[in-house]
Amino acid sequence: MKIVKSLAGGLAALLIAGSAIAPVQAGAQDMSSQINGQVNRAINDANRAAADAVNRANAEWNKFVQMANDTIPGSSALPRNPVPAPAPVPAPAPWAPQAPAPVANGTNGEIHAAGRSYLVWVPRGYNPANPTPVMVGYSAYQDSTENFRNYSRLRESSVGRDAIIVYPRAIGASWEGSPTASTRPGQDIAFVRAMIDDVQRYYNIDRRRIYATGMSTGGGMAAVSACHMADLFAGVAGVSGAYYAPVNRGCQNLPIAFMALHGMNDTLTPYYGTTRRGQRVLPVPELFGSYAVRNGCGPGLDRALLRPASW
């Protein structure tokens, strides 16, 4: 578990909770090819090991049969090779598109699915032969999906170079877990799951490398994703997240990489918590601590200095 603070008057804190048993997070698309090769080699090794075990068992049995048949009438001979050869373990089926890709490489688009829609960015170097990471970006309260896409600048970062970015449209410009939400509990979660499945219809995605981030109420939805979809996401990062108590309620007991970037003098969603719109806003250290527990982090904090880029 780690807390990193800036020197600028203690104005910001970066909190990261990780786990040695969190999903693999590779940094480049060619890592996927290496992983696939390792999986195929493991399958081949397992098939060979199973066949060798059967051969050894049959060989021992046949020795016994030979000795037994030498002492009993020929008409009562025991059978040989009683252990059937195991069926080989099939290799994972290669990904194949279920429909033509609706958005070309290096462009933005909008896709409708599950009664809603999401914006998508496909990196210029996307290759359908390689499983590609996915980043989900959640917009802030009363913000448009397009505006968040533009000011977040995820497309202009290394994320936009290496990953497919999807921006789900919020209903009522808010997300579940917030008192401003128009959706019922579980409704946004169900849509995000359906959205990822829909993306996979068109693009070869790496389901071991799906991430989420969001701003303000979108940061709260990122926390909802970590809480209720740790089986789907490898890691999430909330920026100035509105962490109302429901975003951290009834979580899956699964490890997931979690990052919280939050201004310590934030007056809208205070770092040390508050009550807003009749709902408790969790202190960031409290929220973070719950992920440290679920990730199996040891006691205590590692502290490090966050230096300005000019230093």
pLDDT along the chain (311 residues), means of 10: 42 65 43 56 70 73 68 57 66 88 98 98 97 98 97 96 98 98 97 98 98 98 98 97 97 96 94 96 95 87 66 46
Q: What is the pLDDT of residue 23?
A: 43
Q: What is the pLDDT of residue 42?
A: 66
Q: In whole angstroms, how large is the CA radius of gyration of the chain?
A: 26
| The one-letter amino acid at 104 | A
Return the residue matching tokens 């982090």: 297
Q: What is the b/e burial string over 168-205, where b = at least 16 CB atoms within 10 angstroms of the residue's CB?
A: bbbbebbbbbbebbebeeeebbebbbbbbebbbebbbb
> Both ends of the chain: CA-CA distance in Å?
25
Strand segments, DSSP code E, in 172-268 are 205-215, 235-239, 257-263
Q: What is the pLDDT of residue 82?
A: 59
Q: Torsion angle, CA of 135/40/91/33, rounded to 10 degrees?
A: 30
Task: Please tell me the distance from the alpha carbon of residue 247 to that of residue 242, in angstroms, as a whole number.
Answer: 9
Give the pairing type, strands 205-215 and 274-276.
Answer: unpaired
Q: How many residues does the chain have?
A: 311
Task: Please tell me the distance from the alpha carbon of residue 69 to that of residue 76, in angstroms, as a whole number.
Answer: 8
Q: What is the pLDDT of residue 80?
A: 58
